[in-house]
């Protein structure tokens, strides 16, 4: 039986069961192909059924995530993702127009705008990404202010501040070059996650997001040359992520987060001249990213992460612009490994400006080896 043979709630459960499974990209593709036709047909029948409209909003968001949201395993279909988000936006807007006090529908509008910002940023529409992030933040702020005792509402606002920081000025993402605004948003997010963690210790979602915002603040310190502050924030993040990866080892996101933590520590160890420690961190990161990419070869996010990990190892072995181990052959080997993956990704999605930027950087480094 396929998704199109099932009622909507069963279809959504089927989607949840495959979204994060290693090796599940073919299942995701099958889900998208068959579910979209089904959902589109239901949309015409849902005008007088708010319950079904809510189901459709949720389904379109999740399908959009699988199609092309860069922050989770996806199929690289950015245009398809935006189309699905737009459909969700239209239905959620109808719900709010019919009942302006509908908190669930208002939250959906915030989520949709947040997801749209993700895709707009990676396709180079920074102005649109910032506007979507601002709209999302305003929606979540209104909900949180209206329900100060609702942890879920506070979590959503904390995430929105984090996302705002990313698109305003985080150098690791397409951004608007507003570093001060970025750091301000991250600090607002950090204060909220610290409060939530104190009130509910060892909540895995809270812990994961707390680690993430420590990482983001570390990145901003690293960008401004404050290496010690960057190191301290990265180590805070790494300690939390090690705990999560140990206690939730079957969760690919928790495992991937630990790989990123090793990567970040490798950055500051390189800047501090401790190349032995940097190499250890880089190799641990590469081992995890390789394992995740092998488990799900069609996962665009996993392939991108592996390519970046190879690039960072290449930098450590032989990038003239930073402290390096002076091993040209090893640098060449790792750069070529990154390029092979990136060219395949670019061929599959020519709109991904981030991939092209990385290709250009590596080409420049190869010419100077």
pLDDT given for residue 12 in this prediction: 44
The distance in angstroms from the start CA to the end CA of the chain is 55
pLDDT given for residue 174 in this prediction: 94
Higher pLDDT, 23 or 251: 251
Q: How far is it, in rounded angstroms, from Cα 12 to Cα 19? A: 10
Using an 8 Å Cβ cutoff, are 115 and 69 in contact?
A: yes
Q: How far is it, in rounded angstroms, from Cα 44 to Cα 131? A: 30
Using an 8 Å Cβ cutoff, are 108 and 57 in contact?
A: yes
CB atoms within 10 A of CB 277: 15
Mean pLDDT of 144-164: 96
The domain spans of the chain are 1-123
| Positive or negative: CA dihedral 219, 224, 226, 227 | positive
Q: How far is it, in rounded angstroms, from Cα 189 to Cα 192? A: 5
pLDDT given for residue 115 in this prediction: 98
Q: How far is it, in rounded angstroms, from Cα 284 to Cα 261? A: 10
What is the DSSP code string of 304-344? Answer: HHHHHHHHHHHHHHH-TTS-----HHHHHHHHHHHHHHHHH
Name every residue whose Cβ is closer than 8 Å to that of residue 309 and which is 6 or more positions away in sequence. Answer: 259, 263, 282, 285, 286, 289, 290
Q: How far is it, in rounded angstroms, from Cα 105 to Cα 90? A: 11
Tokens of 4: 């199109």
CB atoms within 10 A of CB 92: 28
Q: Which of 288, 278, 202 is nearest to 253 (CA)?
A: 288
- Chain mean pLDDT for the chain: 90
Tokens of 59: 């389904």
- pLDDT-derived band at 69, boundaries 50, 70, 90: very high
Tokens of 185: 């948003």
pLDDT given for residue 124 in this prediction: 94
pLDDT given for residue 46 in this prediction: 67
Name every residue whose Cβ is closer than 8 Å to that of residue 248 and which is 6 or more positions away in sequence. Answer: 204, 254
pLDDT given for residue 37 in this prediction: 74
DSSP-derived letter for residue 24 is: -
Lowest mean pLDDT among 7-16, 235-244, 294-303, 336-345: 7-16
- pLDDT-derived band at 36, boundaries 50, 70, 90: confident
Using an 8 Å Cβ cutoff, are 113 and 160 in contact?
A: no
pLDDT given for residue 362 in this prediction: 96
Tokens of 46: 């849902």
Task: State pLDDT tens for residues 263-278.
Answer: 999 999 999 999 999 9
- pLDDT-derived band at 248, boundaries 50, 70, 90: very high
For tokens 């609702």, name the residue. Answer: 150
Q: How far is it, in rounded angstroms, from Cα 229 to Cα 180? A: 16
pLDDT given for residue 91 in this prediction: 95
pLDDT given for residue 330 in this prediction: 97
What's the pTM?
0.78
Task: State pLDDT tens for residues 198-226.
Answer: 999 999 999 999 999 999 999 999 999 99
Using an 8 Å Cβ cutoff, are 140 and 121 in contact?
A: no
Task: State pLDDT tens for residues 81-100.
Answer: 999 999 999 999 999 999 99
At residue 16, does pLDDT exceed 60? no
Q: Calculate what percentage of the chain has a pLDDT beyond 90.
A: 79
User: In the chain, count of helices (H) and strands (E)?
Assistant: 15, 0
At residue 139, does pLDDT exceed 60? yes
DSSP-derived letter for residue 43 is: H
At residue 10, does pLDDT exceed 70? no
pLDDT given for residue 45 in this prediction: 65
Q: How far is it, in rounded angstroms, from Cα 332 to Cα 285? A: 19
Higher pLDDT, 163 or 6: 163
Tokens of 83: 């189309």
């Amino acid at each position: 039986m396929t998704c199109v043979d099932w009622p909507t709630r069963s279809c959504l459960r089927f989607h949840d069961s495959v979204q994060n499974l290693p090796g599940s990209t073919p299942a995701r593709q099958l889900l998208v192909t068959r579910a979209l036709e089904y959902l589109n047909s239901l949309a015409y029948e849902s005008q007088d059924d708010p319950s079904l409209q809510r189901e459709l909003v949720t389904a379109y968001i999740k399908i959009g995530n699988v199609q092309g949201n860069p922050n989770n395993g996806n199929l690289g279909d950015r245009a398809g993702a935006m189309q699905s988000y737009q459909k969700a936006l239209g239905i959620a807007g109808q719900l709010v127009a019919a009942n302006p006090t509908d908190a669930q529908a208002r939250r959906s509008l915030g989520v949709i705008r947040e997801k749209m910002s993700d895709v707009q940023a990676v396709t180079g529409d920074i102005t649109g990404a910032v506007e979507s992030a601002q709209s999302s933040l305003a929606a979540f702020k209104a909900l949180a202010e209206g329900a100060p005792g609702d942890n879920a509402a506070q979590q959503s606002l904390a995430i929105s501040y984090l996302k705002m920081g990313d698109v305003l000025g985080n150098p690791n993402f397409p951004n608007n070059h507003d570093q001060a605004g970025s750091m301000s948003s991250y600090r607002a997010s950090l204060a909220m996650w610290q409060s939530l963690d104190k009130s509910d210790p060892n909540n895995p979602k809270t812990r994961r997001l707390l680690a993430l915002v420590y990482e983001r603040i570390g990145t901003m310190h690293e960008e401004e040359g404050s290496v010690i502050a960057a190191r301290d924030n990265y180590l805070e993040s790494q300690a939390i992520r090690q705990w999560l990866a140990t206690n939730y080892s079957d969760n690919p996101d928790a495992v991937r987060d630990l790989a990123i933590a090793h990567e970040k520590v490798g950055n500051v160890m390189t800047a501090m001249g401790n190349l032995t420690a940097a190499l250890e961190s880089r190799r641990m990161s590469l081992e995890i990213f390789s394992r995740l990419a092998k488990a799900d070869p069609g996962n665009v996010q996993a392939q991108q992460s592996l390519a970046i990990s190879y690039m960072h190892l290449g930098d450590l072995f032989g990038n003239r612009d930073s402290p390096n181990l002076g091993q040209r052959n090893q640098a060449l080997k790792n750069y070529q490994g990154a390029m092979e993956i990136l060219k395949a990704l670019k061929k599959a999605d020519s709109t991904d400006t981030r991939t092209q930027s990385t290709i250009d950087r590596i080409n420049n480094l190869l010419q100077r080896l």
